Amino acid sequence: MSPFLKYGLASASLALSLGVVSCTPDAGDPGVEYAPEMYESIPYEPLRQISFNTVNPFGINERDPAIGTIPRGKLAYFDHIPKDSVRIAERVLQNPYPYTKANIEEGQVLFTRYCQHCHGEGGKGDGPVGQKFKGVPNYATGAYKTMNDGHIYHVIEWGRNRMMPHGSQVNPEERWKIAMYVHVLQLNNDPADLPKLVKVNAPVPVTSATEGNASVMTDGLNQKAEGQAGTNKESATPGQGNTKGRNGRM
């Protein structure tokens, strides 16, 4: 038998076998998949979970970011103040946005969307959820009447007591504007007091902070690590292992 005929018959037999195996009465069965690695990636993809990951914790592909790292463009998203340090937040954090009518009105919309179901329309703690579970404060009484922007911002981000954190739902700019509107409710629980807080100032210059790309919420005592990472600089808290990591070096 000639090599040409031999290999020709083998190829035809293989093609016929694949055709028979690939055919199935089940419409949901893809049959034989050619080179599945081309669309089912062998490396672990963090945003796609096909099977149990035997390497990572909990069997998932996603991992926690390395300690001390911040996603690009999200520097202002984190204030680097521990969640239980609301007193530090009161002292350190300052609202970078002006008290304009537009900003406070936007804060009112955001308050209605994220806060009113617990705190009530007038901030008395009498929203539907607040009435059921109790313990929601009245903004116009006691210490709640004097909470400043930093306090309110921090509690929105991290939560406090029975209030769950809302940092993942409300971005930094929205937190500051909600804080502005809470001050309206602190006056006497009347949204009509909004004009009393509007401040007519010169336009605030647009900075990288107001665009959300840098942080003006800084404190040298609490943010010593910020901006210190560099090539050939050791990390005191490497992500894994028992030796110090070194940036920019394998």
Q: What is the pLDDT of residues 195-214, one digit of tens each?
A: 777 764 434 444 444 444 33
CATH number of 75-197: 1.10.760.10
Of the candidates 207, 202, 104, 215, the one whose C-alpha atom is nearest the C-alpha of residue 149 is 104
pTM over cut 0.85: no
Q: Which pLDDT does position 199 carry in this prediction?
A: 67
Of 177 and 133, the one with more pLDDT: 177
| Residues linked to residue 245 through DSSP beta bridges, in sequence order | 235
Q: Which pLDDT does position 239 carry in this prediction?
A: 44
Contact 176, 157 (CB under 8 A): no
Q: Where are the alpha helices (DSSP H) in the chain?
A: 3-22, 86-92, 101-114, 116-119, 128-133, 149-158, 172-188
Of the candidates 200, 189, 102, 95, the one whose C-alpha atom is nearest the C-alpha of residue 148 is 95
Of the candidates 185, 158, 181, the one whose C-alpha atom is nearest the C-alpha of residue 169 is 158
pLDDT band at 117 (very low <50, low <70, confident <90, very high): very high
Mean pLDDT across 85-92:
90
